[in-house]
Amino acid sequence: MTHNTTTASAEAEVRVRDLTVHYRIEGTEYPAIASVTLDLPRGRITGLVGESGSGKSTLALALMNAISEPGRVSGGTVHVDGVGEVTALSAKQLRAVRGSALGYVFQASQNSMNPLRTIGRQILDLGRSHDVKDLPGLLHRARELAERMGLDGKRVLDSYQHELSGGMRQRLGIVFALVLNAKVLILDEPTTALDVLSQAAVLKIIREVHEENHLSTLIVTHDMGVVSEIADNLAVMYGGRIVEHGPALELLRAPSHPYTKALIRATARITGDLASARALPGRPPDLTTIPKTGCVFRERCAFATDVCTGSEPRLEEFRPGHRRACHADVALVRTSPATPKGDVS
């Protein structure tokens, strides 16, 4: 596969601008994501990575305007071509676009199926809710998609949720997201419940369907192996901010943000110098401990200086198609071993 540079905003299917989400906890509002700006270009797969609690799933849900209480979208816009401003849609309008124009595979989506109806009947329910006229054709497409994912299409459509394994149900979650020919596909940890062989098969079908339908695809994951396998572009989140964004291979080969570099350094590996892998020291901030000023990564960063305490770095382009939010010199980050704070090994 090829990994291309990001396209211009005018070519993006999804344009996110200054998106902010707050959660209310004991009467106080805390930012889960803060002023996120991101394009999801047509025909490109964007990987979104970061530790647990970094805001990845919150951002994915916000793209669907699906943040539930006690959370709310408190600022910014999400514009989808052919749909409009998602955050301004009514409940009825949202029901119409979710599952049709916008396909979403929830984390642990295998637990969201109706245990009292077969998979096939649930596909039909989905079709009826979106006024699909050719219901037999919809079943045929669902069976075809299931078979391309290595499943027995007829058997799984005739089955109830409890008759299928977790990995089978996870793959069917992807079938539900794709069966109505969505133009935007959002997948939240789509390979978590799968073994290595099933994961490879699912990534292959995602890539094939993505290319056949010229989708705008976002894959949320903590697995650097997944994004290296499938993503064209890569966005890295920390503390509710995107701290680096650009072509996937460029970021993986030469990260320019200390957090991206630390994430890659912490990735499990089976080749090369096994002793070079290092876990990130400390813990990422939660909603109540995200710094209100300065860089959100400074307490775990080997490059932090006084300016990082008083001034939050802006996400800015330092080369075509590649942005970072960091006060440190790009060359210094890229050439330094970048031992994270607290790593004394």
Q: What is the pLDDT of residue 5?
A: 38
- 146 with 69, same domain: the answer is no
Question: What is d(CA 305, CA 298) in angstroms, rounded to the nearest whole number?
Answer: 8
Domain count, the chain: 2
- 120 with 59, same domain: the answer is no
Residue 106: inside a domain: no
- 41 with 128, same domain: the answer is no
- 201 with 291, same domain: the answer is yes
- 219 with 306, same domain: the answer is yes
Confidence band for 3, pLDDT divided at 50, 70 and 90 = very low
Q: What is the pLDDT of residue 34?
A: 93
| Residue 168, both tokens | 């089978």
pTM confidence score: 0.86
- 291 with 215, same domain: the answer is yes
- 162 with 207, same domain: the answer is no
How do 45-49 and 216-220 pair as beta strands?
A: parallel
Question: What is d(CA 21, CA 187) in angstroms, rounded to the nearest whole number?
Answer: 20
Residue 343: inside a domain: no
Expressed as residue numbers, the domain containing 160 is: 113-180
Higher pLDDT, 83 or 1: 83
Query: Cβ neighbours of residue 40 under 8 Å, at least 6 residues apart?
Result: 12, 13, 14, 16, 46, 184, 216, 217, 218
Confidence band for 10, pLDDT divided at 50, 70 and 90 = very low
- 322 with 256, same domain: the answer is yes
| Residue 190, both tokens | 């789509």
Q: What is the chain's length?
A: 345
- 121 with 151, same domain: the answer is yes
Question: What is d(CA 97, CA 33) in angstroms, rounded to the nearest whole number?
Answer: 23
Average confidence (pLDDT) over 27-33: 92
> DSSP readout, 172-238?
HHHHHHHTT--SEEEEESTTTT--HHHHHHHHHHHHHHHHHHT-EEEEE-S-HHHHHHH-SEEEEEE
- 165 with 23, same domain: the answer is no
- 82 with 126, same domain: the answer is no
Q: Is 294's pLDDT higher than 60?
A: yes
Q: Is 271's pLDDT higher than 80?
A: no
Task: Give the residues across from 25 on adjacent strands.
Answer: 28
- 19 with 131, same domain: the answer is no
Q: What is the pLDDT of residue 213?
A: 84
Question: What is d(CA 192, CA 189) in angstroms, rounded to the nearest whole number?
Answer: 6
From 180, 202, 237, the end of a domain falls on 180
Q: What is the CATH number of the domain that holds 317?
A: 3.40.50.300
